[in-house]
Structure 1
Amino acid sequence: MSGAAASGEGPVWEVFVQEKAGDPHKHAGSVHAHDAEMALQHARDVYARRGQVASMWVVPHAAISASMPADNASFFDPADDKIYRLPAHYLSPASDRRR
């Protein structure tokens, strides 16, 4: 049993907040809670009191997957064998027009 689960705090939830409608959600921090509703309440109490919040997400930490720094070269390597993805592969309709 993990330390958080043994102490009764519950699993870790990552908190993302949106300050204004239309803005991207940004990671604000983490809270411990037993379910999503409780995580939202804790997140509201901790992160919404600092300023205006339009929306808030809570995500179980265990549900987040990330790339590993050791894999960056191959994971983010451009697809050089797929020239159709390059903008130079296509002709613009404007380039075909005569003035």
Structure 2
Amino acid sequence: MTNTRVTAEGGHATVPTNDVSTVPEAEQVTTGWPLYEVFVRGKRGLNHVHVGSLHAPDDEMALRHARDVYTRRNEGVSIWVVPSAAITASSPSEKDPFFTPSGDKVYRHPTFYDIPDNVPHM
């Protein structure tokens, strides 16, 4: 008799499990694929907003997957996909020293200026 492993999981009699990967199929597909950050501009929005991340083999597939995953209800008018490796970000733990220089530039705040009523989006 051969040493065959079997399972009755799911109520479908016994199924051989020899040479069957224990890694879920989705994880097998994304192994080695770069991570992309996805930004979507909504129909009523003026800017792109980060909506999530996904793995894809290349830029074109990342764009297609982002469309399928993040705009299923026809809510977007523009999508950006950016490789996560291309993003450089500040660290939240360094927020005080990193942003302190802007604190002494009060002239950058709009409190010193009168904004006309006919100027949109201010």
What interval of TM-score do these two structures reach, taking the shorter chain for normalisation?
0.5 to 0.7
Q: Percent identity?
A: 50
TM-superposed deviation, 1:48: 1.0
Q: Given the two structures, how large is their TM-score scaled by the length of structure 1? A: 0.68
Aligned residues: CA RMSD = 2.4
* Structure 1 equivalent of residue 28 of structure 2: 7
Residue in structure 2 matching 1:29, options 27, 52, 58: 52
Q: Given the two structures, how large is their TM-score scaled by the length of structure 2? A: 0.56
- Work out the number of aligned pairs and report it: 80
Q: Structure 1 73/12 Cα, relative in aligned 2: closer, same or farther at 3 Å?
A: same
1:1-99 aligned at under 5 Å gives the runs: 7-9=28-30, 10-20=33-43, 23-78=46-101, 85-87=105-107
Gaps in structure 2 of 5+ consecutive residues: 1-26, 113-122
* Greater relative CO, 1 or 2 (CA 8 Å, sep 6+): 1
Match for 2:54: what amino acid? V
Q: Distance in 1 between matches of 2:102 and 2:49?
A: 29
Q: Structure 1 21/55 Cα, relative in aligned 2: closer, same or farther at 3 Å?
A: farther
Q: Structure 1 28/86 Cα, relative in aligned 2: closer, same or farther at 3 Å?
A: closer
